[in-house]
Chains A and B, each alone.
Chain A
Amino acid sequence: DAGVIQSPRHEVTEMGQEVTLRCKPISGHNSLFWYRQTMMRGLELLIYFNNNVPIDDSGMPEDRFSAKMPNASFSTLKIQPSEPRDSAVYFCASSFTDRPSFRFFGPGTRLTVL
């Protein structure tokens, strides 16, 4: 049982560069969530998908952020261009669509933008 897999675990980049975070949900789960965690704002839901379709992206902070889910086993969160204030831990979580409360989280990607 692999759980939610995220890559990379750590990313250090320079301001202005493009960053792509990756997530593989638990097999069989059909809802996927992207969260951002910072000391100042805690855990924030950025976007979630049901059956690969984006349902609510109201948490995406700016147009610099975009997320895709081309198939049931893969999702990306892209930041272009990145800024220092994007530094945070980004978590992916997945669940069954009919049990969205029971979310399983990945280990997170710690992003540092210099």
Chain B
Amino acid sequence: GDSVTQMEGPVTLSEEAFLTINCTYTATGYPSLFWYVQYPGEGLQLLLKATKADDKGSNKGFEATYRKETTSFHLEKGSVQVSDSAVYFCALSDGTGNQFYFGTGTSLTVIP
């Protein structure tokens, strides 16, 4: 079945460092891919999305490109801030949108 695998954390970075959180997927059809962010004590918020191959989602300085050839959707940010400290979830939705799969989450801590 469809699934998402993301790198395990926790990840600790210094402010202004480069961030990559890896995410790969397995899907039989044409999924949409998402990154959600969960700040401490809050619910999940949609960070960015891509609905077809080669699409790039971007928001708040974060980017991820839907790579069908490598079945990946890695999250990147060129310069992280302390306020980016959160848990990041990669997610996949099947072609119908009815099936939605979350990764296990990657905790990011950015230190000043």
Q: Contact: A107 with B41, CB < 8 Å?
A: yes
Given known contacts A42-B104, A42-B105, A45-B100, A101 and B43 CB-to-CB distance under 8 angstroms: no
Shortest Cβ gap from A47 to chain B (Å): 13
Q: Contact: B105 with A101, CB < 8 Å?
A: no
Q: Contact: B93 with A101, CB < 8 Å?
A: yes
Residue B97 at the chain A interface, CB threshold 8 Å:
yes
In the complex, chain A residues whose CB is within 8 Å of the CB of B34: 101
Given known contacts A43-B102, A101-B32, A106 and B97 CB-to-CB distance under 8 angstroms: no
What is the interface size of chain B, counting residues whose CB is below 8 A from a CB of the partner? 20
In the complex, chain A residues whose CB is within 8 Å of the CB of B102: 42-43
Considering only CB atoms, which chain A residue lies closest to B89 in the complex? Answer: A43
Considering only CB atoms, which chain A residue lies closest to B43 in the complex? Answer: A105
Residue A108 at the chain B interface, CB threshold 8 Å:
yes
Out of B43, B49, B103, B104, which one reaches A91, CB within 8 Å?
B43
In the complex, chain A residues whose CB is within 8 Å of the CB of B100: 45, 100-101, 103
Residue B82 at the chain A interface, CB threshold 8 Å:
no
Residue A111 at the chain B interface, CB threshold 8 Å:
no
Q: Contact: A107 with B93, CB < 8 Å?
A: no
Besides the contacts A4-B43, A91-B44, A105-B44, what 17 more A-B pairs have beta carbons closer than 8 Å?
A: A43-B89, A45-B100, A56-B98, A93-B44, A99-B97, A100-B96, A100-B100, A101-B32, A101-B34, A101-B93, A101-B97, A103-B46, A104-B46, A105-B36, A105-B43, A107-B42, A108-B42
A-B residue pairs in contact (CB < 8 Å), sample of 20: A42-B103, A42-B105, A43-B89, A56-B98, A91-B43, A93-B43, A99-B97, A100-B97, A100-B100, A101-B34, A101-B49, A101-B97, A101-B100, A103-B46, A104-B46, A105-B44, A105-B45, A107-B41, A107-B42, A107-B43
Residues of A that sit less than 8 Å from B by CB: 4, 6, 42-43, 45, 55-56, 91, 93, 99-108
